[in-house]
Structure 1
Amino acid sequence: MSKRALPLRLLTAATLVLSGSLGAFAAGETADPSVVATAKGAVRGTVRDGVREFKGIPYAKPPVGDARWSLPEPAQAWTGTLDATSYKSACPQPQRYDLKESSDDEDCLYLNVTVPDGNGAGPAGRKRPVLVWIHGGAFVGGSSALYPLAHLAKAGDVVVVSMNYRLGVFGFMAHPAFDADRNGGYGLEDQRLALRWVRENIAAFGGDPDNVTIAGESAGGAGVCMHLLAPEETSGLFHKAIVSSAGCVTPLPDVAKAVETGRKVAAEVGCGDGASALACMRGKPVKDLLAAQTKVAGSSIVTFMPVVGTRTVPLPGSKAIPQGKFVKVPAIMGGTRDELRLYVAYAMQTGQSFTKDNYADVLKETYGANTDAVVAQYPVSAYSSAPSAVGTVWSDFRADVGINNCIYLETSKLLRKTVPVYQFVFADRDAPPVTTNPGFEMGAVHSSELPYLFPHYDNTAAVAGPDLSPASQDLADRMVAYFTSFARTGTPSAPGSPAWEAFTADDKVLNLAPGRIGHFDAGAAHKCGFWKSLYPEVLTQ
């Protein structure tokens, strides 16, 4: 049974001043719309442009010292009124590609809440739907501060929450010295503690704790999948799910494989894996552990990721979903049409070349003995450049990375047998750039849909987040309507837009492109039948 927030009670500003502390109080609205009383203490945010923003609210104790590689614990209560007008540090992460974020601050477990209107809970005191956004970043990077929440909250009339969570070696590394039940899953456990915070506190912000949608993109979408796959841990924490650019049936490492990686990291910092290893690693500076993470990962983008076979993630999606061992809620699934062309661009930034002459060799690194069949199905001569060709192949299917269109379809084919599923492909090939110009046509690449939901989302140091074109802005407005109506009712709809039909066995998904919203056969477009013939153990449906 969901634990509800405590009864609402008005706390006037005068009361706060006279008491000197909040001590024992009930969570709820206050006379000042910029102040909200949470279960741990009052927070003061900012009221502007039709929203109230609360940034940097602690939901967990800092995971430092002996708390490093431990389950997160709820934040301690505070006295007075906490300043919640600015974002806190991103969780520790190295500099990657030409991206903005990097951090060495472990005191990072904070969340943000944005509420429509200057005050109150909405018309006639109605509680609003809640959308909890989980940021992406390949489980090694990213930050909640990169996603401006105001437009989504205001345009969709929803309460929006975002959070930071531990990353890389701090959040997704396994090791023999760690808790066997949670090995490799501390970042996911952070997310779950944030969801418990939402359940206990969001009513104070005018949100409905019984109508919570969890949503995320890339690693954030994969996080949503992991919460779906752990019903004994997460049931009651959310009621709908939106997964963008992640597949819930992506093959994941088991504990044994993940521990091998953890041992390599420990060895890099001189700690081994004996009885003293945990204390040794807890004593190492953040920068040393990040350097070890970078060295062990090399060029791989999937070295640190969720681990299956623990209480955190008991079973892979390919087993859990057919067995009915998942949280049964309505879901939106999807991604971008040209997903992994972005990673071709990133590879080029690190010096890798993609030419017509090495096309087959590049594909062989991913597809091995199946390379000849792949080259025959995707001849390089059919594309404007070798990088475009490689990016198209990778975007259709890669067995080692969960970012591809056939994996998304596989997830929906399994889920639809039990719950309503709505599938989309973001296909605006004139989307704003998300990295510096690589010299080939990028199209609708990984993360290119984010500025449509979060205007001026900007994660690239070399590229300023431009305004959308009128046609793209129209698409953005429709996307916000689709997604927030789903958060409200469980059925996505947008005024004046085509009806979004639930996914069925015919592979028809909603194409999201300016002026061309409509259903198409995604299985045929991404040649999923061909890929199933090569990888029947992954694409089973």
Structure 2
Amino acid sequence: MRAELSAGVPGPDDFADPIARTVYGDVRGVREGAISVWRSIPYAGAPTGAARFAPPRPPQPWDGVRDCTRFGQIAPQSMGPMVPIESGLTMGEDCLWLNVWSPRHEGSDPAGRSRPVLVWLHGGAYCLGTAAQEIYDGRKLALAGDVVIVAVNYRLGALGFLDLSSLGDDFVPNLGLHDQIAALEWVRDNIAAFGGDPGNVTLFGESSGAGCVTALLTSPRAAGLFHKAIAQSPPATTVFGPERAAAVARRFLELMELPASRAAELLECPIDRIVAAAGVLLDEVPLKEPGRLAAAPVVDGDLLPTYPIDQFQHGRSHRVPLIVGTNKDEASLFRLLRSPILPVTPDAVNTMLRDVAASHPGMSPERLAEITSAYPDLSKPRGALAMSTDAAFRMPAHWVADGHAQHSPTWMYRFDYATPMLRAARVGAGHATELPYVFGNFGTINHDPTFWLGGRKTAMEISGRIMRRWLAFATYGVPAAIDGSKHWPPYRPSARRALVLDTADRVVDDPDRDLHTAWGQRAVGFS
């Protein structure tokens, strides 16, 4: 059953709060200029009680009109400086909802033309963040491209990406991915009610959200639910195997002070207790084992039959157009915020390399030496940052592109621009710094420290080019800026052409040639 959108000549009610009809009931949004916005529309029921560690279920239908003008509960998580959450948002388990931004063109579209849809998956190391963050407001992007934007909220950390299935039948792995698939199914069945085309859906995300994009690009369950994809800084090799997941689950039970025989009590214990134990675990794992995360997608033989990076390299990813890329200075932000999520000191990076060599039987001392030879400053902070950037983001993105380009149109980029303030702070084009450029959401001059030394005009110009490319890709399947900007040729493993996004866009043949030579074609994971 599909929802329907009424269209025609505007009448008195056309300027009232917008109401859309979904398969579960009517939802009321709000007009914000030329855009209609719905916040926290449920795509699944609250995963509480016996459903806490279960796949999402459809929401209960409702009578009347449901108010969707304010944000609901965000996924339970440990707050931290890596992902600033706006005040006024509350945590809770009733967090399976999404936001919709749709252009409003009264009387200009009597035929009810369907618009391209972009579905956003936020980042946050699989344990932080929410679709309610201001940076992900989709109004400007929706208006700039005459498209419908959807931002998905999903379970995180212990509730979404901690595989507890080794503890009993009450637990299912990859719940965060299950949530995202349920949201994509909701889009398929309901987005027409908001002016969107369910046959033209682009899935895009950043950091762990991009890691979910690359995982879903190899998941049989996700086939056909999206038709293009954009992965911004994907940690595509950060996926656990079952043994690793079981070891982390045992440690989580220790922190919960529960024996394995009482694991089922996790279904009923206070959520605050789970969040607290998960917070300790999420910090503990990367400190003890640099380069690893506590929570991440897992190979479960079902949703993820095997490691996504292997699927890419064997040409088995879904055949859809893909944009993939990274930022020039990914690791710098983790150093600035002193986050343990990524190793940024020489000692931590060397520990990571020893761990990788020990966990990969095919990693010979010669290959490890060849990789480290590409980093002559490895004993210094600068070299450690470069190694961390490449291990976590740069090379996984290249391995994804090399594999996907075997069968589908693929484009690769590198985001290099940094404002004078970010350069002075030695952040440069750090992790996530491209986000305001994609959404067009910059802070005000007084409240955006990245512009304290200038650069706002240039940033706005770069943002315009990026938004136009992303929107053209979502609409036509080709990331042309349609404004005379530099042509962006498709990626080919033989040439590895990439678009460098900077003050002026430029196409570079194999900008990371030395890294490819050192790391080789065989992916190295950190599972």
Are 1:390 and 2:384 an aligned pair? yes
Are 1:378 and 2:378 an aligned pair? no
Alignment check: 8 A CA contact 1:66 1:282 kept: yes
Give the alignment partner of residue 221 of structure 1, picking from 210, 215, 225: 210
TM-score, scaled relative to structure 1:
0.83
Alignment check: 8 A CA contact 1:92 1:105 kept: yes
Say if 1:121 and 1:264 are closer, same or farther in 2 by CA, change over 3 A.
Answer: farther
Alignment of 1:317-466 (within 5 A): 317-347=308-338, 360-368=346-354, 377-380=374-377, 386-395=380-389, 397-398=390-391, 403-430=392-419, 441-456=426-441
Give the alignment partner of residue 45 of structure 2, picking from 48, 58, 61: 61
Partner Cα separation in structure 1 for residue 324 and residue 182 of structure 2? 24
Structure 1 residue 134: Cα displacement: 0.5
Match of 1:195 in 2: 184
Aligned letter for 2:242?
A: V
Say if 1:197 and 1:100 are closer, same or farther in 2 by CA, change over 3 A.
Answer: same
Alpha-carbon displacement from aligned partner over 1:358-384 (angstroms, at most 9, x marks no partner): x643431222377876665433499xx
Are 1:74 and 2:58 an aligned pair? yes
Say if 1:122 and 1:441 are closer, same or farther in 2 by CA, change over 3 A.
Answer: farther
Structure 1 residue 457: Cα displacement: 6.3
Match of 1:43 in 2: 27
Q: State the SS of the aligned residue for 1:260.
A: helix
Partner Cα separation in structure 1 for residue 518 and residue 111 of structure 2? 55
Q: State the SS of the aligned residue for 1:335.
A: strand
Are 1:290 and 2:252 an aligned pair? no
Are 1:116 and 2:103 an aligned pair? yes
Aligned letter for 1:445?
A: G
Q: State the SS of the aligned residue for 1:366.
A: helix
Alpha-carbon displacement from aligned partner over 1:116-139 (angstroms, at most 9, x marks no partner): 125579575321000000000010
Q: Percent identity, please.
A: 30
TM-score, scaled relative to structure 2:
0.85
Say if 1:120 and 1:388 are closer, same or farther in 2 by CA, change over 3 A.
Answer: farther
Alpha-carbon displacement from aligned partner over 1:189-228 (angstroms, at most 9, x marks no partner): 0111111110010001110000001000011111111111
Alignment check: 8 A CA contact 1:30 1:37 kept: no
Alignment check: 8 A CA contact 2:330 2:431 kept: yes
Are 1:143 and 2:143 an aligned pair? no
Match of 1:511 in 2: 500
Give the alignment partner of residue 488 of structure 2, picking from 497, 500, 518: 500
Say if 1:178 and 1:452 are closer, same or farther in 2 by CA, change over 3 A.
Answer: farther
Alpha-carbon displacement from aligned partner over 1:449-494 (angstroms, at most 9, x marks no partner): 0000223368xxx966769611111111010110111111111111
Match of 2:360 in 1: none
Structure 1 residue 96: Cα displacement: 2.1
Give the alignment partner of residue 306 of structure 1, picking from 294, 297, 305: 297
Q: State the SS of the aligned residue for 1:92.
A: coil
Structure 1 residue 310: Cα displacement: 2.8
Partner Cα separation in structure 2 for residue 431 and residue 425 of structure 1? 19
Partner Cα separation in structure 2 for residue 381 and residue 288 of structure 1? 40
Say if 1:380 and 1:522 are closer, same or farther in 2 by CA, change over 3 A.
Answer: same
Select between 256-265 and 412-421 the one with higher mean Cα deviation.
256-265
Partner Cα separation in structure 2 for residue 71 and residue 388 of structure 1? 43
Q: State the SS of the aligned residue for 2:211.
A: helix
Match of 1:241 in 2: 229
Say if 1:82 and 1:465 are closer, same or farther in 2 by CA, change over 3 A.
Answer: farther
Alignment check: 8 A CA contact 1:431 1:449 kept: no
Say if 1:376 and 1:229 are closer, same or farther in 2 by CA, change over 3 A.
Answer: closer
Q: State the SS of the aligned residue for 2:92.
A: coil
Structure 1 residue 287: Cα displacement: 1.6
Structure 2: segments with no counterpart, 5+ residues? 287-291, 358-364
Q: Between Structure 1 and Structure 2, how many residues are aligned?
A: 494
Partner Cα separation in structure 2 for residue 39 and residue 149 of structure 1? 23
Alignment of 1:1-40 (within 5 A): 5-8=2-5, 32=16, 34-40=18-24
Say if 1:266 and 1:219 are closer, same or farther in 2 by CA, change over 3 A.
Answer: same
Match of 2:457 in 1: 470
Q: State the SS of the aligned residue for 2:260.
A: coil
Select between 107-116 and 439-448 the one with higher mean Cα deviation.
439-448
Match of 2:362 in 1: none
Alpha-carbon displacement from aligned partner over 1:142-180 (angstroms, at most 9, x marks no partner): 110111110111111110000110000001111224559
Select between 486-495 and 308-317 the one with higher mean Cα deviation.
308-317
Aligned letter for 2:486?
A: P
Q: State the SS of the aligned residue for 1:527.
A: helix
Structure 1: segments with no counterpart, 5+ residues? 15-28
Alignment check: 8 A CA contact 1:166 1:190 kept: yes
Structure 1 residue 342: Cα displacement: 1.4
Say if 1:158 and 1:238 are closer, same or farther in 2 by CA, change over 3 A.
Answer: same
Match of 1:26 in 2: none
Alpha-carbon displacement from aligned partner over 1:331-358 (angstroms, at most 9, x marks no partner): 11111111111122233x67x997xxxx
Alignment check: 8 A CA contact 1:428 1:443 kept: yes
Select between 207-216 and 94-103 the one with higher mean Cα deviation.
94-103
Say if 1:353 and 1:155 are closer, same or farther in 2 by CA, change over 3 A.
Answer: closer
Select between 79-88 and 155-164 the one with higher mean Cα deviation.
79-88
Structure 1 residue 110: Cα displacement: 1.1
Q: State the SS of the aligned residue for 2:137.
A: coil
Match of 1:277 in 2: 263
Aligned letter for 2:353?
A: Y
Match of 1:152 in 2: 141
Consecutive aligned runs of 4 or more in structure 1 exceeding 4 Å deviation: 6-11, 29-33, 118-124, 369-376, 462-468
Give the alignment partner of residue 491 of structure 1, picking from 478, 486, 489: 478
Alignment check: 8 A CA contact 1:406 1:523 kept: no
Alignment check: 8 A CA contact 2:213 2:230 kept: yes
Partner Cα separation in structure 1 for residue 245 and residue 109 of structure 2? 47
